[in-house]
């Protein structure tokens, strides 16, 4: 790792925008810098991405807290969507592909700026919308339980299945949810809307 590398942080707090920083731009070692961003000892996850400037592919490296799941750090919707797996806590991303050799060499390289812009303007925005929908559905389901629209058993089914899906599919889509799940949630949402309209009268 030589000099400074353009890196980005994907905060776990969905209300915070991703931001760039120069890795190697302080007096601390790059290991210390990454640890300070992710909150402790880190591990790496990788994925292949595309640089739309020249349509070349590169390996994106995500540095994550090594015990994020064990410590129950906050779910990182943007990073989880990006890497296609459940990730917890703040995540630092860089390119792992050498721009001269076009090979993954285990070093940190500049994150392509257009890919960072895509993360901010498309992926983060989509993840934020998915989280908002998830929170709205969770509120509707809780209200449905309190209002007697669903039973405790149905509530636990909805909760358990949603948690299971969150561990295996972080895309936030409802397209492939079971018919029973969709039906129960639809009942709860209809009830929540009805209650909101009554409150507004």
**pLDDT for 8:** 97
Who's near 42: CB < 8 A, 6+ residues apart?
34, 35, 63, 64, 65, 66, 92
What are the DSSP E strand ranges found in the chain?
A: 5-10, 19-23, 42-51, 56-65, 91-97, 104-109
Considering the chain, what percentage of its residues have pLDDT values greater than 70?
92
Q: How distant, in Å, are the alpha carbons of 116, 137, 159, 171, 173 from that of 134?
A: 25, 5, 11, 12, 10
* Mean per-residue pLDDT over the chain, rounded: 88
Rounded Cα–Cα distance for residues 68 and 136 (Å): 26
Residue 131 contacts residue 170 (beta carbons within 8 Å): no
Instruction: Read off the pLDDT of residues 46-77 as tens digits, 9 standing for 90 and up.
Output: 999 887 777 778 999 999 999 999 999 999 99
Of 63, 111, 108, 61, which Cα lies nearest the Cα of 88? 63
| Angle of CA points 104, 110, 114, to nearest 5° | 105
Q: 200 with 193: CB under 8 angstroms?
A: no
List pLDDT tens digits, range 91-109.
999 999 998 998 999 899 9
Per-residue model confidence (pLDDT) at position 26: 77
Q: What is the full DSSP assignment across 107-145?
A: EEEPPPHHHHHHIIIIIHHHHHHHHHHHHHHHHHHHHHH
Rg, C-alpha atoms of the chain? 20
Return the number of other C-beta atoms located less than 10 Å from residue 66's C-beta.
16
Per-residue pLDDT tens for 127-152? Answer: 888 888 888 988 999 999 999 999 99
Split at pLDDT 50, 70, 90, the class of 9 is very high
- In this predicted structure, the answer to whether residue 170 has a pLDDT above a threshold of 60 is no
Distance (Å, whole) CA 119 – CA 113? 10
> According to the per-residue pLDDT averaged within each range, which of 25-29, 91-95, 113-117, 123-127 is highest?
91-95
To the nearest 10°, report the CA torsion of 136, 142, 148, 153. 120
- pLDDT for residue 2 is more than 70: no
Under the banding of pLDDT at 50, 70 and 90, the label for residue 166 is low
Mean pLDDT is lowest, of 24-28, 89-93, 125-129, for 24-28
What is d(CA 85, CA 66) in angstroms, rounded to the nearest whole number?
A: 15
pLDDT, mean of residues 143-163? 90
* Closest to 62 (Cα-Cα) out of 128, 108, 125: 108
Per residue in 28-44, pLDDT (tens digit) is 789 999 999 999 999 99
- The predicted structure's pLDDT at residue 1: 41
Q: What is the pTM of this model?
A: 0.76
| Banded model confidence at residue 173, pLDDT cuts 50, 70, 90 | low
């Amino acid at each position: 790792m030589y000099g400074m590398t353009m890196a980005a942080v994907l905060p776990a707090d969905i209300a915070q925008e991703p931001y760039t920083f120069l890795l190697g731009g302080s007096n601390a070692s790059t290991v210390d810098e990454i640890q300070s961003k992710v909150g402790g000892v880190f591990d790496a996850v990788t994925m292949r991405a595309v640089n739309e400037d020249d349509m070349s592919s590169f390996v994106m490296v995500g540095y994550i807290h090594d015990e994020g799941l064990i410590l129950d750090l906050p779910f990182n919707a943007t990073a989880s969507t990006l890497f296609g797996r459940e990730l917890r806590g703040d995540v630092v991303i860089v390119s792992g592909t050498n721009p001269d050799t076009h090979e993954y060499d285990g070093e940190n390289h500049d994150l392509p700026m257009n890919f960072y812009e895509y993360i901010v303007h498309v992926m983060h925005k989509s993840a934020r919308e998915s989280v908002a929908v998830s929170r709205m559905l969770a509120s509707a389901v809780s209200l449905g339980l309190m209002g007697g629209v669903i039973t405790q058993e149905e509530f636990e089914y909805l909760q358990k299945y949603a948690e299971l899906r969150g561990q295996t599919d972080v895309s936030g889509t409802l397209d492939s949810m079971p018919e029973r799940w969709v039906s129960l949630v639809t009942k709860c949402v209809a009830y929540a809307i009805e209650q909101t309209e009554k409150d507004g009268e």
